Structure 1
Amino acid sequence: MNDPHRGTRAMAEVRARFGSVHEQIDGRRFAGKLLLFVLLVVAGAILVRHGSVWSIACGVILLGLMYAHALELQHEALHSIGFRGRRANVVAGVLLGIPMLTSFSAYRAAHMRHHRYLGTPDNHEYFDYGDQYGHAERTRARTVLAWVYRFSMISLYRQFLVDTVRLASGRPVPGEKPATVRDIRRDHLLITAVLGTAVTVSVATGSTFAVWAWLVPVLLVAGPVHAAVELPEHYRCETGTTDVFRNTRTIRSNRLMAWYTNGNNFHVEHHLMPSLPIARLSRLHQITAPRALHFHRTYRDFYRSLRTPRSRAPLAGPQAEYDTPQ
């Protein structure tokens, strides 16, 4: 017989085996991530400024990759597990959201609700991709349009404009408390100030640097890459259950991707213990691996699996394709 409480007991058992999550957060590790991010952004800006076609192309790609990576770092900050102090996490998170016009406070509020309500009708994510979890049946043409919509990140930029106008006119943000609205307004004021300054300087000097160092990387690289990184988290999982081992996917991948996604590849583990420092997710994975229903060795394996219709897609559980690390 199916036990409706089996998933809950399994999650409680894993948490108990792994021990307390109330340990000291190593802010130096997160500071190191931020420093590397800044250095790579500077390197990308220098490449764009160099002027040759190949240099600009390499700079655009590097900057786009870093802007998408910034949202993964922002995700750590919004869980308050980057630095020990709340204020430091907020400052870092707000700044990290500027490149992709992402309000730290709006993202945090929506994301915490996502963790709370995943597997229920109240679950809604901050980044809207339309068919969020791949459950809709579409014609081939509508499927292509759905993928274009997802990877273009049009919804993010449209929502930024809508919220900016709403906040500028003094109207509340639906579903958010007054204190949260004030924080969202602060984020939008900062982002629009930076955006306005970039546009003003560009027009005044006749420079296209902001276009090649910000606009083009965001539209052509950062948006699609971010959508690609987020897609596997719950796509085609059993999002009608609150069992984390069934409604979320983990991808083991390699050290480079684990760094780039900032541990988000271990997504089952993250949803199981959202307050766990990112550095410990790989250790938790050793315990969760035998239980996770949706698992892939690499991101390439996951995207290859999308070619298989859902009705014929094999379960990607660890029993078939994973050897628990020692």
Structure 2
Amino acid sequence: MTTVDDQQPRSGAGPVALAELRGEFRHLRTAINNRTFAAKLALCAALTGGGAALALHPALWSRVVGVVLLGCTFAHAAELQHQTLHSLGFRNRRANTVAGIVLGVPMLISFAAYRATHLRHHRDLGTPENREFFDYGDQYGADGRRSRWRTALTWTVRFTMLHFYRLFLVNAARAALRRDYAGESAATSRRIRRDHHVILAAVLAMTALSVALRDPVVLWVWILPLLLVAGPVHAAIELPEHFRCETLSEDPFANTRTIRSNRLMTWFTNGNNFHVEHHLMPNLPIERLPELHAEVRPGLKYFHTSYVDFFRKVVRG
């Protein structure tokens, strides 16, 4: 199988070996620190407020900087939402739910739908039943034989997240019609409808504010940051997780990738760069993933030192 990585030999890890490995690192399962996640939320809120102020300033340079800052913050918020759906943000489940719903609004992400699909992804990765919440088209780069134009189209679809926005419109319509969602229980369907109602209410409120002020506020602080920045940035963060890995293997060292990167990117991705470690121990507090990485680094098969390194090797084929 052709990959974009420099591979290191490693024997496959079966269920028993993985269970023993997880037991070896159970000491890392420390208590969740509410203050740590509250600080993350406070910083995210401050960046959102600062970005909005810049985006609404009449100077063009300020608007551009504001749109970029907001878009990046939206993508960061989606990574914080990932922490809440694993109940790793706050110790209280309701607090995780409320925070998760709010964090998903900027990128039109239903907390309940993301949680249900993502937890199944953890369960099913390594099997044909595996599905991801964010659909980038050719999700894992399986179809490598394409013309130059077809390749360009595929990457355009991936980085514009067109499939995801189409799914949001379909799900929002089902929420407006009070219909259930295929494959979900009645209770989960109610929660998914709730999230879409919250998002639609936010859209209506921002639109109404724009009309009242006779200024396209919703365009500058939401639509442009979402479409031009947040979507591509989010795709760049999430796509490498399993891209061209052995996704039909149940071994997380074979089906998932880790990108060490730097402290800034580890903060920005909220530890999502340590993705093998996350799949190895999904309930491990995010702040402990670097410690787990130090322990398992020699066994990583798909590993990069930075996101630049990953995408450079993708381009080179």
Q: 2:176 is matched with which residue: 168, 172, 185?
A: 168
SS at match of 2:299: coil
Residue 170 of structure 1, CA deviation: 2.7
Q: Which runs of 5+ in 2 are unaligned?
A: 1-9
Deviates more, 1:198-207 or 1:263-272: 198-207
Residue 157 of structure 1, CA deviation: 1.4
Separation in 2, partners of 1:248, 1:67: 24
Name the structure 2 match of 1:296. Answer: 304
Separation in 2, partners of 1:259, 1:35: 14
**Contact 1:151/1:224 (CA < 8 Å) preserved in 2?**
yes
Residue 48 of structure 1, CA deviation: 1.5
Name the structure 2 match of 1:154. Answer: 162
SS at match of 2:273: coil
Separation in 2, partners of 1:177, 1:20: 35
**Contact 2:81/2:100 (CA < 8 Å) preserved in 1?**
yes
Q: 2:93 is matched with which residue: 77, 86, 90?
A: 86
Residue 22 of structure 1, CA deviation: 4.7
Residue 9 of structure 1, CA deviation: 4.2
Q: Any residues of structure 2 matched to 1:218-233 within 5 Å, and which?
A: 218-233=226-241
Separation in 2, partners of 1:22, 1:68: 27
SS at match of 1:38: helix
Separation in 2, partners of 1:189, 1:6: 43
Residue 50 of structure 1, CA deviation: 2.0
Q: Any residues of structure 2 matched to 1:138-287 within 5 Å, and which?
A: 138-287=146-295
Separation in 1, partners of 2:47, 2:93: 26
Residue 10 of structure 1, CA deviation: 3.9
Name the structure 2 match of 1:34. Answer: 41
Q: Any residues of structure 2 matched to 1:29-178 within 5 Å, and which?
A: 29-136=36-143, 137-178=145-186
Residue 213 of structure 1, CA deviation: 0.9
**Contact 2:266/2:272 (CA < 8 Å) preserved in 1?**
yes
Matched, 1:8 2:34: no
Separation in 2, partners of 1:81, 1:67: 19
Residue 45 of structure 1, CA deviation: 1.0
Separation in 2, partners of 1:6, 1:84: 32
Name the amino acid aligned to 1:63: L
- TM-score, structure 2 length as denominator? 0.94
Name the structure 1 match of 2:4. Answer: none
SS at match of 2:220: helix
Residue 197 of structure 1, CA deviation: 1.2
Residue 20 of structure 1, CA deviation: 4.4
Separation in 2, partners of 1:28, 1:192: 30
Separation in 2, partners of 1:38, 1:159: 27
Residue 32 of structure 1, CA deviation: 0.4
**Contact 1:41/1:66 (CA < 8 Å) preserved in 2?**
yes
Separation in 2, partners of 1:6, 1:211: 49
**Contact 1:14/1:287 (CA < 8 Å) preserved in 2?**
no
Name the structure 1 match of 2:30. Answer: 23
Separation in 1, partners of 2:157, 2:151: 10
Residue 39 of structure 1, CA deviation: 0.5
**Contact 1:151/1:228 (CA < 8 Å) preserved in 2?**
yes
**What is the number of equivalent residue pairs in this alignment?**
308
Residue 292 of structure 1, CA deviation: 1.0
Separation in 2, partners of 1:42, 1:191: 19
1:244-302 CA deviation, whole Å, 9 max, x = no partner?
Answer: 00000001100000000000000000000000000000000011111110000111111
**Contact 1:270/1:276 (CA < 8 Å) preserved in 2?**
yes
1:148-196 CA deviation, whole Å, 9 max, x = no partner?
Answer: 1110011121111101111222321010011000101110111100101
Name the CA shift for 1:48/1:28 in 2 (closer, same or farther; >3 Å).
same
Residue 140 of structure 1, CA deviation: 1.6
Separation in 2, partners of 1:43, 1:66: 10
Structure having greater relative contact order (Cα 8 Å, sep ≥ 6): 2
